[in-house]
Amino acid sequence: MNPHSKGSGPNSGPSRHSSFHGRPQRPGGFSHARPSFHGGSKPSFGGKPGFHSGPRPFRGSGGRPPFRGGNRGKHPNPGVNINPARFVSKAIVSATPAPAYVPKNAFADFVIDARLKAAVTAKNYVTPTPIQDQSIPHILAGKDIVGIANTGTGKTAAFLIPLINKVLGKPTEKVMIMVPTRELAQQIEEEFRGFTRGMTLRAVCAVGGASIVNQMKSLSYRPNFVIGTPGRLRDLIDRNKLNLGEYATVVLDEADRMLDMGFIADMKFMLAKMSPNRHTLFFSATMSPEIQALIHHFLKNPVMVSVKTGETAANVDQDVVRVPFGADKVDVLCALLRQPGFGKVLIFGRTKHGVERLARTLCTKGFKAESIHGNKSQPQRQRALKLFKEHHSQILVATDVAARGLDIVGVSHVINFDLPASYEDYVHRIGRTGRAGLKGKALTFV
């Protein structure tokens, strides 16, 4: 059965006029922390002192304004002004649950190539998710799309299935897929292979950290699909190995994240060099003024598909872990990880060095932990992800490079060991759990 997202529930917690202020941590983010609020005499969890299941007053360090958003990179310790009450939201459990989404289509109903339909059936895809149900018919019809959806809602299949069908019907068609991170590009390539097994279609994954020579060689075979990050795609264009004029179809996935990461100039440059009659598919989790401007400039009468129902998933239990005065955050974390139920844990840290140090420290304390961050080579990052996905390691410690797009099955917990830079980053971090309709838990150290 194709995985479904439960959607999102309303944000809980008190007014944003509450404020929170913590002391900046040492580089690495896990030396002794001194929160400016109450905690128990020892770390404890599940409603005991030091771990609270509901909002409570937060004592600030006095006088500074509450978090207002848009301050990325302007504070020595990003995220310290986010009100911790926003990290508390119990998963919605109701005796009378909201009516399930009723799709208008089944995968068997889509008019697509028989080979592709067989591949979809082999993956046990029967009922489309909302973004798939509402997007696929329009993409098959050749219309531009703007898809706004929460993470984990099946966007990749929503554009891959109709575009693979398009190329099967017209083998000279070439498709460009732009994404913000290497891991997302590789994930899309993996899903592409699952849909095209036994077919003659080719795809090249063009990302940094991997051999550009090998990528140039692969491009010489004229693949139907190029999946890449803006920086590496721009390098290939500058080397005259990629002719954008040949691409009449483009997908911009996680467009808001690409803007956040400073790729706006590269995105505009590449879109301007493509055919003015191109077919453009645009997916984003948010709709900012910058996103609206891009849509207005580069898309033609797009169909708007919005299945986003809230900020965070309704089936993710969110809570905070309060570090008592004088306690070591790592000791608190280890005590937490030894609790029952912490089967597959994704931990987010703020810096590359801090993430690496934390992973090594956890290993010395008997945990099976891996790390991914920008200082690791692409093969090292792929190996760490593979070990985590295949249950050879219990813990993956990551910087925000892993916060978007990754679909890792069965993550039981997301732990924000260091505070995110913004609430939007928090939303995308915790979106790694509670996927495909499963219940997840998100814990944030404060």
The bridge status of strand 440-445 relative to strand 413-416 is: parallel
- The pLDDT score that the predictor gives to residue 43 is 44
- The pLDDT score that the predictor gives to residue 315 is 77
Residue 1 lies inside a defined structural domain of this protein: no
Same domain, 322 and 371: yes
Indicate the helix (H) or strand (E) that contains 233. Answer: helix 230-238
Same domain, 146 and 248: yes
- The pLDDT score that the predictor gives to residue 427 is 81
Residue 157 lies inside a defined structural domain of this protein: yes
Same domain, 243 and 119: yes
Residue 376 lies inside a defined structural domain of this protein: yes
The bridge status of strand 8-9 relative to strand 249-252 is: unpaired
Structure tokens at 87: 């990290």
Residue 33 lies inside a defined structural domain of this protein: yes
Yes or no: say if 178 and 258 are a contact pair by the CB < 8 Å rule. Answer: yes
- The pLDDT score that the predictor gives to residue 422 is 80
Evaluate the CA torsion angle 339, 414, 386, 165 in order and state its sign.
Answer: positive
For the chain, the domain total comes to: 2
**From the CA atom positions of the chain, what is the Rg in Å?**
22
- The pLDDT score that the predictor gives to residue 81 is 62
Same domain, 122 and 236: yes
Mean pLDDT by 10 residues, the chain (446 residues): 41 36 38 36 40 35 33 46 67 50 90 96 92 96 91 88 97 95 91 95 94 95 96 95 95 89 90 92 86 90 82 76 90 93 93 94 95 86 89 92 70 92 82 79 91
If we measure between CA atoms, which residue out of 261, 194, 173, 189 comes closest to residue 228? Answer: 189
Confidence (pTM)? 0.63
- The pLDDT score that the predictor gives to residue 144 is 96
- The pLDDT score that the predictor gives to residue 243 is 94
Same domain, 232 and 357: no
Residue 99 lies inside a defined structural domain of this protein: no
Angle between helix 230-238 and 212-219 (nearest 10): 70
| Alpha-carbon distances of 38 from 58, 323, 446, rounded to whole Å | 8, 9, 10
Residue 327 is part of a domain; what is its CATH number? 3.40.50.300
- The pLDDT score that the predictor gives to residue 261 is 83
Please give the distance of CA 147 from its chain centroid, rounded to a whole number: 15
**Starting at the edge strand that comes first in sequence, how are the strands of the sheet with 303-306 ordered?**
203-206, 225-228, 175-178, 249-252, 279-284, 145-148, 303-306
Picking from 272, 306, 340, the residue at the C-terminal end of a domain is: 306
Picking from 306, 326, 360, the residue at the C-terminal end of a domain is: 306
Beta partners for 306? 148
CA distance 362 to 112: 49
Residue 6 lies inside a defined structural domain of this protein: no
Same domain, 380 and 344: yes
Picking from 306, 336, 367, the residue at the C-terminal end of a domain is: 306
- The pLDDT score that the predictor gives to residue 51 is 40
CA distance 170 to 193: 19
Same domain, 147 and 37: no
CA distance 249 to 176: 6
Structure tokens at 420: 């995110």
The domain of 21 spans 12-92+314-445
Same domain, 28 and 140: no
Residue 358 lies inside a defined structural domain of this protein: yes
